[in-house]
Amino acid sequence: MCLNYPCNCKTDGTPCESCRMTAKDRETEEAQLSKNINTEGQARRTCEPEMNISSSGAAKECGRNWGWMLSGIICLNILMLGCALVSGSAYNNVDISSSDLQIFLIILLLLTSIWMIYYAIYTTKNENAVLYKDGHAGPVWLKGGLVVFGFLGILMDIFKIANYVGYLHCDSAVKVAFPVVQLIFILVQTYFMGMHAKDCAQLQKNITRCGLMLTLSTNLVLWMTAVTEESLHQTIIPDYPSNTTKISGRSLFIQKASYGSDKCHCSHTSCSMFKEAYYYLYPFNIEYSLFASAMAYVMWKNVGRVSDEHHHHNIKFHLRNVFLGPVTGFLLVIAGLATFIVYEMEMKKHNSNGKKDTFLMMHFVVNIVIVTLMSVTSVIGCVIYKVDHREHVSEKNPTRSLDVGLLVGASLGQFIISYFTIVAMVGTGAKSYLDGLNLAWAILMIIQLGLQNFFIVEGLHREPFHEIHPVSSVVANPYVLQPSKELGGFEEKDMDTKPSPVLTERNPHGHTVEHRSKLSWKRWVLKEVCAFLLLANVILWIMPAFGARPQFDHTTETKFYKFNMWAAVVNIGLPFGIFYRMHSVASLFEVYLTT
Amino acid sequence: MCLNYPCNCKTDGTPCESCRMTAKDRETEEAQLSKNINTEGQARRTCEPEMNISSSGAAKECGRNWGWMLSGIICLNILMLGCALVSGSAYNNVDISSSDLQIFLIILLLLTSIWMIYYAIYTTKNENAVLYKDGHAGPVWLKGGLVVFGFLGILMDIFKIANYVGYLHCDSAVKVAFPVVQLIFILVQTYFMGMHAKDCAQLQKNITRCGLMLTLSTNLVLWMTAVTEESLHQTIIPDYPSNTTKISGRSLFIQKASYGSDKCHCSHTSCSMFKEAYYYLYPFNIEYSLFASAMAYVMWKNVGRVSDEHHHHNIKFHLRNVFLGPVTGFLLVIAGLATFIVYEMEMKKHNSNGKKDTFLMMHFVVNIVIVTLMSVTSVIGCVIYKVDHREHVSEKNPTRSLDVGLLVGASLGQFIISYFTIVAMVGTGAKSYLDGLNLAWAILMIIQLGLQNFFIVEGLHREPFHEIHPVSSVVANPYVLQPSKELGGFEEKDMDTKPSPVLTERNPHGHTVEHRSKLSWKRWVLKEVCAFLLLANVILWIMPAFGARPQFDHTTETKFYKFNMWAAVVNIGLPFGIFYRMHSVASLFEVYLTT
């Protein structure tokens, strides 16, 4: 676990930039006696752990040096330039081709890969480079997800290469070069993140900060590119009987990513198959970039932190006694998947409105049922938290702060779509039964989002559950308390083998068993709630990620806002909504483990 | 100054929710002995100031209760609904009239006003409601700005009422009701913020949190509305010879805020005069909402904080010895104003391209000169900071964190416009001399923004300058050190009248004078830099705020991105850019004072 004192010279004796600076300062010739007094007083103040006034504030200031700001400025500039290029290349009538964007991306990917290799070699050669590791950073689920999504990303790149090779005779070679470079980048980055995600870099801090910010911005630009391509691919321009909309709609949303021109034909026969295949892998590639961004950000936050290494989370995952949540959740996923497949096939087949409406209604009803069940479950979870007096965690943790920020931030995407739907439905008066269902879905979705955010944030901020662990219960010193967390999974074994002296002294009448079962009641409900919500979020992730767009299939909003504006809202909001579901799954898994 | 321990039961004895809860918890029948041990250990941990592990983290967790999250959810919902209504009402072909939006705003304004009056009465009646004040919150410049902008906002509302009364016979009464309600709201809010900006509310914390979030979101929705109206007003659709652009351009940007219909005529003669007048007051109204939002946010952060009252910033403003910066800055403002007025008049008069180009060139050259001078000055300032060994402040401060966040966040608006310009200029090859100037301006603007952000952030994080103050130099306890800040303005007087024992003991040879002049050299340069940058930001604020739109007057970008997309980029980015200049002025003023 990283402590908050990079400048705490006295307790651990690590070299401290700030202290060195003031020491040097004292020796310079311009330091008169009077100034000396002043600096001495202040130096002591900066470098001692300030017990009473906001120690983490002090730590933050110490790290806030030139490299910190320089890395921020680099990130800002890459992001803004990427943003301009991505949005320019998405529009058909802007003179930025997707090759221009891909050249920019190739440069970014190569730079980042080179830096990551340099960092890996440097830290291996230099033993002092990484003295400490942050136990919270790069948890197993994040690393596992990164490897899985990385593998699927590599698969996508191979399909892309196979597809674009067929066009080499009539299109630019950049379209083949980009997936090749991206493939190498994914390999390098997955290795880098797997090995170094927990590092608190101590040497070459400024270079490391800049490198990590480069990694972060590269991944975010990749994410933007993938999201834009995917949105354009999923947006089918409706046969809407208005001239204005048609013109602007078409000029806006023609798919530049795929091959629209009739002149260039694929030289081998399996092109269309590869194209079909890699579009299904897009959602995973999008998640990969986000996972890597999150890890790079946490590593950036950890640069220069001083921490102790022997803090391992060994909470084990098991489904013992948890039955109702997983089973109902699993049934929900099956039901959702079945209706989703039927819905998707029908939407692609039929163009007559009558049949479409039936399947739209089915989709709305299934979603309403899912969202309602989730809201009820979240309420139960919140009530349990209100009843449960487990303490809030008191320790600062960049990984968790980022988790909460991303969760609430990403939920805004779904929020905005729902509110636009509500306004449109209320504005048109919700005349048809489909409008009514759509309105109900939007309102329930907002309620569900609010409750789920509440539940997850509250869950992430509770202390991991430890039933009875003597060490943790007797010692008040938080330093010693900390390691008790890692024992959360072993409490029962511990209890049977090593009855603590305190326990036997105070509790000689065998209350232990009763106590365990009583606590288990709350834990059990919370675990059921988590498991159910987790699976429900999986199905809510699958539907939009693999192409369900009731927002366009149901035309009331398109008519109310006109295609142009509504497509912008959905295409900006939905990627965040999809990420929100994905991220909720990960957070709920963490809550499940710590409960 | 607010301390970071709302739950610090032992040091000050204030009531503490978390402690009470665990105490009650201990008494409940389900708390077995074994659980008692556990809870006791943890209770002590939560409520004691944790010396070593991130105390501010603990404080944050303690405050993270239900009211905290509920207020966040309220804010989110109001903002999203507001966003949907505002963007819907901005488009001509969406069925949301501006009256619908205004009814929503009236409800919000009334609710907020009622809550603010309730709070004011409650805190006056109940003496325990506000025990502590945060000395950092609501500084004089913020309160002064609020009063000035509030006054101009009231003026705008009076003009609006006078204007819309003339249309009462043929348009809805909501258009008159809205400015009336807004006028009352501005009066109530300015009083409320003036009286209560420094409050750290202790009673009814959850209601206060929700009320403050209501205030914050109301102001943000008002800001969105004003920004949208102002952007639509300033965007003149060009006579661009393409059919597609014309259609979508017109359908997007017809001014719904003003009276477009030919049927409804004003019943008195001075309508157009009032309309002309109130559009000039829009920029101030926009700033008013942002100032109020910032103050509401800081108040929300301060709810439940425990602080001591006797911390006053009495740093005085004076221009002694500072001459070069203000004078050159003032000359720059005069020159900028003169060319701006000429430019604006010519743009309105001439439609022939030849004459327009001359004045566009003038505008570009003036801007390039201003931005170059600012970059050079910022570099000088940064070098001084590098040479100067003044300590970084170690104390946590929500006002400053917000300041820095807003500064960097708002600069993104200008960043994005500049990067879009660069991409367009590079894409078209920058053939004409105007394109070259535009490209140079965009690149220099990015450099200037980066350097200025660097300079201001660094300046805000330095300790206020105190030359020699015996109390602060001898005592190492940060509690006692803190008040030394307030003496920053009086150091010279202090030195002459009260020579401290330490000073006379260690420094008997009269080095004091020499030391003072040496330090003054760095202070002097920094003050000159601040003064110059401040005035330069003022002129860069005036130009876009009062309607200079070289982005549309120069047509290369419009042709490259098409009007639709370019207008969206400028209309979203520029309001942030304008706010950035305004906010920089305020921040530079603070840096000037503390240097």
> With pLDDT > 90 as the criterion, what percentage of chain A qualifies?
30
Quick one: angle between helices A324-349 and A512-545, nearest 10?
A: 10
Q: How many CB atoms lie within 10 A of CB B349?
A: 11
Query: What is the predicted pLDDT for the residue at B255?
Result: 38
Cβ contact (<8 Å) for B479 and A64?
A: no
Task: State the pLDDT at residue B322.
Answer: 77
The helix (run of H) or strand (run of E) holding residue B200 is strand B199-201
pTM: 0.73
- Mean pLDDT is lowest, of A104-113, B76-85, B219-228, B342-351, for B342-351
Containing B132, the helix (H) or strand (E) segment is: strand B130-133
Mean pLDDT for chain A overall: 75
Contact indicator for A153, A284 with CB cutoff of 8 Å: yes
Option in A423, A428, A475 nearest B41 (CB): A475
Give the number of beta-carbon pairs within 8 Å between A and B. 320
Q: Residue holding tokens 């980066």?
A: B450
Residues of chain A found within 8 Å of residue B560, distances taken between Cβ atoms:
94-95
| Window from A189-198, B143-152, B351-360 with minimum mean pLDDT | B351-360
pLDDT value at residue A64: 52
**Least-confidence region, from A495-499, A587-591, B79-83:** A495-499
B94 CB neighbours in chain A (<8 A) are 560-562, 565
The predicted structure's pLDDT at residue A179 = 94
Q: A39-48, A230-239, B149-158 — which is least confidently predicted?
A: A39-48
Provide the token pair at B3. Answer: 């301390």
- Let me know: does B217 contact B78? Beta carbons within 8 Å: yes
Model confidence at A7, pLDDT cuts 50, 70, 90, reads very low
**Cβ-based contacts of B77 with chain A (< 8 Å):** 415, 419, 446, 450
| CA angle in degrees (0–180, nearest 5) for B274-B279-B282 | 130
Q: Which residues in B lie closer than 8 A to residue A62 (C-beta atoms)?
A: 392
Q: What is the mean pLDDT of residues A6-26?
A: 37
Asked if residue B340 lies in contact with residue B163, where contact means CB atoms within 8 angstroms, the answer is: no
Burial (CB count within 10 angstroms: exposed 0-12, middle 13-18, buried 19+), residue B420: buried
Contact residues, chain B, for A473 at CB < 8 Å:
34, 37-38, 40-41
Confidence of residue B430 (pLDDT cuts 50, 70, 90): confident
Using the beta-carbon criterion (under 8 Å), do A55 and B56 form an inter-chain contact?
yes
At B113, the pLDDT band (50, 70, 90 cuts) reads very high
Confidence at B329, pLDDT banded by 50, 70, 90: very high
Least confident of A206-215, A450-459, B141-150, B489-498: B489-498
pLDDT higher than 50, residue A424: yes
Nearest to A459 by CA among A519, A375, A388, A370: A388
DSSP lists the bridge partners of residue A133 as A199
Locate the chain A residue with the closest alpha carbon to B77.
A415
Among chain A residues, CA nearest to B425 = A95
Asked if B454's CB is within 8 angstroms of A561's CB, the reply is no
Close Cβ partners of B36 (under 8 Å, ≥ 6 residues apart): B26
Taking an 8 Å cut-off on Cβ atoms, the answer to whether A55 and B57 are in contact is no
Residues of B in contact with A415 (CB under 8 A): 76-77, 80
Alpha carbon distance B11, B23 (integer Å): 18
pLDDT at B457 over 70: yes
Q: Tell me if A38 and B87 make a contact (CB, 8 A cut-off).
A: no
pLDDT band at residue A442 under the 50/70/90 scheme: very high
> Is residue A349 predicted with pLDDT exceeding 60?
yes
Give the gap in angstroms from C-alpha A267 to the nearest C-alpha of chain B: 32
Find the angle CA(A140)-CA(A143)-CA(A146) to the nearest 5 degrees.
145
User: Is residue B267 within 8 Å of B559, Cβ to Cβ?
Assistant: no
Q: Is the pLDDT of residue B163 over 50?
A: yes
Looking at CA atoms only, how far is residue A410 from chain B in angstroms? 12
Q: Is B101 exposed, middle or buried (0-12, 13-18, 19+ CB in 10 A)?
A: buried
Of the candidates A52, A396, A474, which has its C-beta nearest B479's C-beta? Answer: A52
Q: Which has more pLDDT, B218 or B17?
A: B218
The per-residue pLDDT for B89 is 86
Query: What pLDDT does A96 receive?
Result: 81
Beta-carbon separation of B41 and A472 below 8 A: yes
Q: Which of A64, A96, A412 lies at the smallest CB-CB distance from B427? A: A96
A38 CB neighbours in chain B (<8 A) are: 466, 468-469, 472-473
Q: Choose, out of A392, A404, A408, the residue to mutate when testing the contact with B (most B CBs < 10 Å).
A: A392
Q: Which residue of A has its CA nearest to B503?
A: A34
Angle, in degrees to the nearest 10, between helices B556-594 and B243-253:
40
pLDDT at A278: 82
Residue B28: alpha-carbon gap to chain centroid: 48
- Mean pLDDT, residues A408-433 taken together: 90
Test A38 with B94 for CB contact under 8 angstroms. no
pLDDT at A143: 87
d(CA A102, CA A85): 10
Question: Residue B135 carries which DSSP code?
Answer: T
Q: Does the distance separating the beta carbons of B515 and A35 come in below 8 Å?
A: yes
Distance CA B22, CA B4 (A): 20
How far is the alpha carbon of B50 from chain A, nearest alpha carbon, in Å? 8
Q: Do B54 and A396 touch (CB under 8 A)?
A: yes
Point out the residue among B21, B394, B474 whose CB comes nearest to the CB of A46. B394
pLDDT of B466 reads: 58
Distance in Å from the first CA to the final CA of chain B: 20
Token duo for residue B26: 């201990």
Q: Which position has the token pair 């952030």?
A: B457
Residue range A273-326, pLDDT digits in tens: 888 888 788 888 888 998 899 889 888 888 877 765 444 445 666 667 778 889
Helix/strand/coil (H/E/C) assignment for every residue in A534-545: HHHHHHHHHHHH
Q: Are A153 and A80 in contact (CB under 8 A)?
A: no
Query: Across chain B, what does the average pLDDT equal?
Result: 75
**ipTM score of the complex?**
0.70
Task: Look at residues A259, A280, A281 and name the one whose alpha carbon lies nearest to residue A271.
Answer: A259
For the ranges A133-137, A165-169, A402-406, B158-162, which has the lowest average pLDDT? A133-137
Span A134-139, average pLDDT = 76
Q: List, for residues B251-274, the tens digit of each pLDDT value.
A: 333 333 344 455 678 888 888 888
Helix (H) or strand (E) holding B199: strand B199-201
Q: Please indicate whether, in this complex, the C-beta atoms of B80 and A412 are within 8 angstroms of each other.
A: yes
Share of chain A above pLDDT 70, in %: 71
pLDDT band at B487 (very low <50, low <70, confident <90, very high): very low
Better pLDDT: B269 or B587: B587
| The pLDDT of residue A331 is above 80 | yes
Closest alpha carbon to A556 in A165, A275, A238: A238
Q: Which has more pLDDT, A159 or B6?
A: A159
What's the average model confidence in pLDDT over B223-246?
Answer: 65
- Angle at which helix B98-125 crosses helix B205-234, to 10 degrees, equals 150
Tell me the average pLDDT across B15-19: 38
Interval B352-388: pLDDT, tens: 667 788 889 999 999 999 999 999 999 999 998 888 7
Q: Which of B156-160, B302-306, B313-317, B552-556 has the lowest mean pLDDT?
A: B313-317
In A, which residues are within 8 Å of B474 by CB distance? 37, 41
Please answer yes or no on whether B52 and A3 come within 8 Å at the CB atom.
yes
- Per-residue pLDDT band at B294 (split at 50, 70, 90): confident
The dihedral over CA atoms of A30, A35, A36, A41, expressed in degrees to the nearest 10, equals -150
Strand segments, DSSP code E, in A77-231 are: 130-133, 199-201
3-state secondary structure of A462: strand
Query: Which of A42, A54, A84 is the closest to B4 by Cβ?
Result: A54
Q: Chain A residue with minimal CA distance to B94?
A: A561
Predicted confidence (pLDDT) at residue B12 exceeds the cutoff of 70: no
Predicted pLDDT at B519: 53
Mutate to test the interface with B, among A34, A39, A62 (most CBs of B within 10 A): A34
Return the higher-pLDDT residue of A549 and B471. A549
Judged by CB atoms closer than 8 Å, whether chains meet at B56 and A22 is answered as no
- Rounded to an integer, what distance in angstroms lies between the CA atom of residue A275 and that of residue A172? 18
Asked whether the beta carbons of B275 and B156 are under 8 A apart, the reply is: no
What's the CA gap between A152 and A160, in Å, rounded?
12
- What is the pLDDT at residue B128? 78
φ/ψ (deg, to 5) at B197: -60, -30
Q: Nearest-CA residue of chain B relative to A462? A: B61
What is the model's pLDDT at position A353?
A: 67
Which residues in chain B are contacts of A394 at CB distance < 8 A? 45-46, 50, 53-54, 57-58, 61
Q: How far apart are the C-alpha atoms of A436 and A554, rounded to whole Å?
A: 12
Q: Is the pLDDT of residue B33 over 60?
A: no
Cβ-Cβ contacts under 8 Å, B81 against chain A? 419, 422-423
Q: What is the pLDDT of residues B181-203, one digit of tens each?
A: 999 999 999 999 998 888 888 88
- Which of A248, A394, A507 lies at the smallest CB-CB distance from B50? A394
Instruction: Give the C-alpha separation, B91 to A568, whole Å.
Output: 13
Query: Residue B276: which pLDDT band, with cuts at 50, 70 and 90?
Result: confident
Q: State what percent of residues in chain B have pLDDT above 90.
A: 30
User: Is the Cβ pair A423, B247 closer than 8 Å?
Assistant: no
Q: Do the Cβ atoms of B199 and B130 come closer than 8 Å? A: yes
- C-alpha span between B153 and B282 (Å, rounded): 8
Q: Is B131 helix (H, G, I), strand (E, B) or coil?
A: strand
With contacts defined as CB-CB under 8 Å, which chain B residues touch A66?
A: 386
Distances (CA, A) of B402 to A136, A409, A565, B457, B518: 27, 18, 32, 12, 34
Check CB contact under 8 Å for B34 and A427.
Answer: no
Closest residue of chain B to A74, computed from CA coordinates: B450
